[in-house]
Amino acid sequence: MSLRLVLVIGFTSVLTLGVAIYSQTKPIVRPIAGQDLSQLQDAPNTGKAPPLRGQNLDRRRAYLSAFLTQMSFWGKVVDDKGEPVPGATVQLQANSNPDPMGGGTTYIRDTDEQGRFLIVGARGITLTVEVSKAGYYSTEQSRGTANYVLNSKTALPIPTADAPAVFVLRRMGVPVPLIRVAPRPVRLPKNGTPVDISLRTGQAGGADRLRVECWTEDQNKDTQGQYSWRCRISVPGGGLAERTDQYDFEAPTNGYQSTQEIAMTASAPKWRKGVDKNYFAKLPGNNYARFVFKLTTGGEHFFVIESYLNPEPGNRNLEHDPIGNVAPSG
């Protein structure tokens, strides 16, 4: 099989990218892994595919040469308080392979005492960076991709020595043994009949219970299949506070409400048939818990909770130590 035919077959799936690159870059004809690109023009036509000439040849050259783009990257790793994180591991993945089915090139760096790292002379069209370190949580701010060839609204700005890209790791606290109730579906009536589930045992009722009530009018669906529903959750004798940060493991001292209500009208612009939220709970015996609450309406109704409760009264630490997990009681 001629080299021309191989390239036509190999790059058909990425022709759109080749056209975009060609429109934004000047073709630079350079060998790729020992390949002589002049053969693209001289190879005989087999009759199985049109020869690469003119604009098609320029596009292939531009596409191949784009993967030789030099990429330098300056970065800095800090914790959630903005302090440098030395000794963090940085994995940089370069998209350096013109073959869409092929792999790229991986580089590993460690941050210095100021939390900084640098790579110079990597080649490719994009560079994906991810940082990690033992004792820290990785977050959405712990990773990112810089695009050196095409413009992208979601890509990182190309960093410089004076303006490095900043990545954030969340420092872990001191995990403690907690009572974990594993997620399981619980049937929920549509007519407001309350259902109580213990955050301590995962069973029905109990002193440390979460109460769930729901009213659904799914018998009155509109032309879009939408309907009105509302749900109320509460902790009898205690309170709830919404938890908006998945890495926030300390229950607040105040700000709890006796009930939380979620309502959805059939005409809501962003209508949903369910809810997925995180909460802190203050329980009647001065215990604290956190839990995930998921509800799906329409047809048979179910809700699911996954909860973590600190068995020590007054202790607001809810960072889970799975090794010292406390089994649910009751």
DSSP 256-318: -BSEEEEEE-TT-TT--SEEEEEEEEE-TTS-EEEEEEEEE-SSS-EEEEEEEE--STT--B-
**What value does the mean pLDDT take over residues 292-313?**
94
pLDDT at 196: 97
Q: Lowest mean pLDDT of 244-258, 273-287, 316-330, name the range.
A: 316-330
Rounded to an integer, what distance in angstroms lies between the CA atom of residue 17 and that of residue 12? 10
**Percent of the chain surpassing pLDDT 90:** 68
Burial of 311 (0-12, 13-18, 19+ CB in 10 A): middle
Dig out the tokens for 71 from the structure: 């990429």
**What value does the mean pLDDT take over residues 183-201?**
95
pLDDT at 202: 93
pLDDT at 26: 35
The answer to whether residue 140 scores a pLDDT higher than 60 is yes
pLDDT at 225: 92
**What value does the mean pLDDT take over residues 26-39?**
34
Rounded to an integer, what distance in angstroms lies between the CA atom of residue 145 and that of residue 158? 9
Fold of 70-171: Immunoglobulin-like (2.60.40)
The answer to whether residue 284 scores a pLDDT higher than 90 is yes
How confident is residue 69, by pLDDT bands cut at 50, 70 and 90? very high
The answer to whether residue 14 scores a pLDDT higher than 60 is no
The answer to whether residue 13 scores a pLDDT higher than 50 is no
- CATH 2.60.40.10 in the chain: give the residue spans: 70-171
Contacts of residue 126, Cβ cutoff 8 Å, sequence gap at least 6:
94, 95, 145, 146, 147, 148, 149, 155
Structure letter (DSSP) for residue 155: S
**What value does the mean pLDDT take over residues 19-33?**
37
The answer to whether residue 113 scores a pLDDT higher than 50 is yes
DSSP string, 187-203: E--SB---EEEETTTSS
pLDDT at 10: 40
pLDDT at 323: 73
Candidates 314, 255, 313; CA nearest to 279 is 255
The answer to whether residue 52 scores a pLDDT higher than 80 is no
> What is the total residue count of the chain?
330
